[in-house]
Chains A and B, each alone.
Chain A
């Protein structure tokens, strides 16, 4: 050991302290950045004395990150479902406006009862037909809303798939830089932060699992095990459907050629926005459409007119409510896709379309030219039997298709309110689930931030220590300098 060696060691101490200070400044500068993880410089003794910064590492908690990814996927899956159900709920079951099918049905029932009490009143008749029109419009607009939600979900799936593809392309670049940097031993900690952020964004769209391999190379799989990235990004494809017919299912999303969403999925994903959107498009809205269609079919059936001849020869035909398939009746207890969208008021009874309101009381809506459907054969204005019959049938049990997911035998009024309750129930449970998942995500995120984020106090303490060691090293240099100066003075 000599003075020269001492000098060079002191100099290496200055360099190391400088490098460490740079790392501390990076931490302090990014203190407000939630995506930044704490960096630390690792100092080692250099061979032959001295010190150097061997590497920069970052605080990471792989297990916590995994949990956060899973929580994010679960939360965004529920979020997609809740958003769609909220929309269905707001537009269909608005209690303020009384515009829901259930409320409209109750009004129709009241109007018919009122008409039956004063069958001679044209006003009461008009009110009843108007109430029927309102109910038809409620069913039509509900169908439209369901369709819109479904179309939106399909478009959202397309944009979600696009986003995943974009993220995978970015991931490929960053991952390549990390692998190169790790092999070269350079500082890749900022890139690792970026990569984590990309994976976190991806986990919003689809549930992912990651594997870290040699040289920090990362492979991404969906939570069902389909590769999304393994050395290269895999294709993720989806064909959007511009108009989804009621009851028809949309296309599946393919990852690496494997269907991962929908009923035909070989390896279905378990979480993520894609999962939630697919559930909206192919499950919740489809089921609700079934229920609306069953309401419409039931209405047509209840208000159908039958042959009043002594020996009936003609089949039943749609009365007050009709649809595109008239004069044939829809098959009993069988869903007709899109019926709630095509149900309408029979023009024969609608004064706005040149019909006669009295046909509601007297019959003959199905075909005014055929006498078989006339109930009021005597033509008296006090005839209320037909109206009472309608009222009775409204409150009689009907058969419903079990595929609608509600009662198979119930009054229409009960079925309609069950449907509303079902929407509310599904929405409520999804919202609760979302609340829970979201809380879980927030907690994981907070814990992660606490463990890997920047703590300014800690950084300041480190800086003080560095300042001291820098001062000590400079002191050492000035001492050695004065020792050499003494020697030079001796030479004179």
Chain B
């Protein structure tokens, strides 16, 4: 029976190598597919029970493996919505029916609805952050919505913090109490004036006139008015509405800085009309015998403006970048992984689904423990190496030929056997 055994065994050997050549063909065909993970074949023996005096040949069993956890190289692009992952993790995508899949193919483009769709036709999923911190379920896909960048509305941000540090001239003359800007009289005089732009709740620009006046030795009165209330551009006093805030900063004449013993206030809180309270840090303000000079002037917030473009950073935060340059986080793009990524089941379109062997899904964010980092403006290249595929092919071809030789030998012997009977 061992001649038939030989034929069966060599056939299984040829089948195995045909499988192997199949993976090589697939790999070479997908050697330029972004996010493709190469397939390989491993073999195991199937041994039949043999005695000590005769040998019954078994056969070989093929097991197809996917090197899903293997890192591909990066190809840098110019599209802000191209994403690659360095390290563990998959992007979560969904098909039309809403079923969730994992993928490493991150060539996303905006479709007609404003959804981000990759080359396989799958939609990118993320957590919206506009309503606050997203409710992330660590082992499921609940709360995920398609990332839609088409309907990002005009947005305004009210001013809340700022810094305004100046040098106040210690040589200035003292302003009489009745003439201080805080009295809001037509005769008001001041040592120096500056103005800052802040934003109210709906994004209106509010120009704040900031007056600094030496009220008594080492005491500077900082008075803030809303410029829109000025009586006339050249002669603003008296303003139609009183000062928004008046604070007196006290300086230590030995150091020229704010008095730390008293202590002097180091910031002023300005209630913006129809806005938030703007806390203006003035801790670095000095009183030195030098001319008035603005050293730092910043106020946050921005007026309403449309979305200019979107940007994704390496933690997966999708920012809407507005025309005025402000960036607002809009979506958090999560990563997902499983215990054994190599046991994920590949499906068409470079996506994978968890199986019983791969273990359950775990969702998290790029840069956190157990997840890799996102590389924006890059694509993960196919893990296929042409040279190794070609060598595999040569090897498989040779082994296939060898198997066919074994079959031919068995067939020849069979013929000899049959010819024994004339």
B73 CB-CB contact with A under 8 Å = yes
Name the residue of chain A whose CB is nearest to the CB of B236.
A257
Q: Which residues of A contact B (CB under 8 A)?
A: 2-5, 8, 12, 46-50, 52, 176, 179-180, 183-184, 209, 211, 213-215, 219, 221, 224-227, 230-232, 234-235, 237, 252, 254, 256-259, 266-267, 483-484, 487-488, 490-491
**Smallest CB separation, A361 vs chain B (Å):** 59
Q: Report 21 cross-chain contacts, Cβ distance below 8 Å, ordered by A residue.
A: A2-B387, A4-B73, A5-B73, A12-B76, A46-B74, A48-B74, A50-B74, A184-B309, A209-B294, A215-B325, A227-B297, A231-B299, A235-B233, A254-B234, A256-B193, A257-B236, A267-B192, A484-B386, A488-B390, A491-B390, A491-B394
Interface residues of B in 71-93 (CB under 8 A from A): 71-76, 86
Name the residue of chain A whose CB is nearest to the CB of B167.
A225
- Those 6 A-B pairs whose CB atoms lie nearest each other, nearest first: A2-B385, A231-B197, A3-B387, A225-B292, A179-B325, A180-B325
Q: Which residues of A contact B234 (CB under 8 A)?
A: 237, 252, 254, 257, 259
Alpha-carbon separation in the docked complex, A235 to B375 (Å): 45
How many interface residues does B have (CB within 8 Å)?
55
Alpha-carbon separation in the docked complex, A47 to B373 (Å): 11
**Smallest CB separation, A62 vs chain B (Å):** 15
Check if B233 sits within 8 Å of A221, measured CB to CB: no
Instruction: Give the tally of cross-chain contacts (CB within 8 A).
Output: 134
Q: Which residues of B contact A237 (CB under 8 A)?
A: 233-234
Q: Which residues of A contact B192 (CB under 8 A)?
A: 225, 266-267
Alpha-carbon separation in the docked complex, A18 to B275 (Å): 51
B409 CB-CB contact with A under 8 Å = no
B388 CB-CB contact with A under 8 Å = yes
Q: Which residues of B contact A4 (CB under 8 A)?
A: 31, 73, 384-387
Interface residues of B in 273-299 (CB under 8 A from A): 291-299
Q: Which residues of A contact B323 (CB under 8 A)?
A: 180
Check if B197 sits within 8 Å of A266, measured CB to CB: no
B2 CB-CB contact with A under 8 Å = no
Q: Which residues of B contact A266 (CB under 8 A)?
A: 189-190, 192-193
**Smallest CB separation, A147 vs chain B (Å):** 26
Check if B294 sits within 8 Å of A221, measured CB to CB: yes
Partner of A227, one of B31, B236, B294, B308: B294
Interface residues of B in 182-241 (CB under 8 A from A): 189-190, 192-197, 205, 207, 209, 227, 230, 233-234, 236
Check if B292 sits within 8 Å of A267, measured CB to CB: yes
B408 CB-CB contact with A under 8 Å = no
B8 CB-CB contact with A under 8 Å = no
Alpha-carbon separation in the docked complex, A52 to B75 (Å): 10
Name the residue of chain A whose CB is nearest to the CB of B31.
A4
Given contacts A232-B205, A259-B234, contact A47 B86 (CB under 8 A): yes
Q: Which residues of A contact B362 (CB under 8 A)?
A: none
Given contacts A46-B76, A180-B323, A224-B291, contact A2 B190 (CB under 8 A): no
B166 CB-CB contact with A under 8 Å = yes
B145 CB-CB contact with A under 8 Å = no
**Smallest CB separation, B374 vs chain A (Å):** 11
**Smallest CB separation, B226 vs chain A (Å):** 13
Check if B325 sits within 8 Å of A225, measured CB to CB: no
Q: Which residues of A contact B386 (CB under 8 A)?
A: 3-4, 484
Of A3, A47, A219, A257, the most chain B CB neighbours within 10 A belong to A257
Q: Which residues of B contact A12 (CB under 8 A)?
A: 76
**Smallest CB separation, B299 vs chain A (Å):** 8
**Smallest CB separation, A182 vs chain B (Å):** 8
Check if A211 sits within 8 Å of B195, measured CB to CB: no
Check if A225 sits within 8 Å of B291, measured CB to CB: yes
Check if A214 sits within 8 Å of B388, measured CB to CB: no
**Smallest CB separation, B371 vs chain A (Å):** 16
Alpha-carbon separation in the docked complex, A52 to B76 (Å): 8
Q: Which residues of B contact A (CB under 8 A)?
A: 31, 71-76, 86, 166, 189-190, 192-197, 205, 207, 209, 227, 230, 233-234, 236, 291-299, 308-309, 311, 321, 323-325, 327, 375, 378, 381, 384-388, 390-391, 393-394, 397
**Smallest CB separation, A51 vs chain B (Å):** 10
Partner of A176, one of B193, B293, B296, B324: B324
Alpha-carbon separation in the docked complex, A491 to B397 (Å): 9
Instruction: Kindly list 15 other residue pairs between chains A and B, CB separation below 8 angstroms, not including A230-B297, A256-B195.
Output: A3-B387, A46-B74, A47-B375, A180-B323, A214-B298, A219-B294, A221-B293, A224-B291, A225-B293, A226-B193, A256-B194, A257-B236, A266-B192, A487-B394, A491-B390
**Smallest CB separation, B103 vs chain A (Å):** 19
Q: Which residues of B contact A224 (CB under 8 A)?
A: 291-292
Q: Which residues of B contact A257 (CB under 8 A)?
A: 193, 195, 209, 227, 230, 233-234, 236
Alpha-carbon separation in the docked complex, A457 to B236 (Å): 58
Of A2, A179, A484, the most chain B CB neighbours within 10 A belong to A2
Q: Which residues of B contact A234 (CB under 8 A)?
A: 195
Q: Which residues of B contact A259 (CB under 8 A)?
A: 234
Alpha-carbon separation in the docked complex, A134 to B384 (Å): 103
Of A4, A47, A209, the most chain B CB neighbours within 10 A belong to A4
Check if A211 sits within 8 Å of B375, measured CB to CB: no
Check if A487 sits within 8 Å of B311, measured CB to CB: no
**Smallest CB separation, B234 vs chain A (Å):** 5
Q: Which residues of B contact A179 (CB under 8 A)?
A: 324-325
Partner of B294, one of A50, A225, A491: A225
Partner of A254, one of B233, B298, B375: B233
Check if A48 sits within 8 Å of B71, measured CB to CB: yes
Q: Which residues of A contact B166 (CB under 8 A)?
A: 225
Alpha-carbon separation in the docked complex, A487 to B397 (Å): 14
Q: Which residues of A contact B296 (CB under 8 A)?
A: 211, 213
Given contacts A3-B387, A4-B385, A237-B233, contact A490 B292 (CB under 8 A): no
Check if A8 sits within 8 Å of B381, measured CB to CB: yes
Alpha-carbon separation in the docked complex, A117 to B205 (Å): 83
Name the residue of chain A whose CB is nearest to the CB of B292.
A225
Name the residue of chain B whose CB is nearest to the CB of A256.
B195
Alpha-carbon separation in the docked complex, A225 to B75 (Å): 50
Check if B327 sits within 8 Å of A183, measured CB to CB: yes
Check if B297 sits within 8 Å of A258, measured CB to CB: no
Q: Which residues of B contact A52 (CB under 8 A)?
A: 76
Alpha-carbon separation in the docked complex, A215 to B197 (Å): 17
Alpha-carbon separation in the docked complex, A235 to B207 (Å): 12
Partner of B197, one of A3, A176, A230, A491: A230
**Smallest CB separation, B161 vs chain A (Å):** 13
Alpha-carbon separation in the docked complex, A215 to B386 (Å): 45
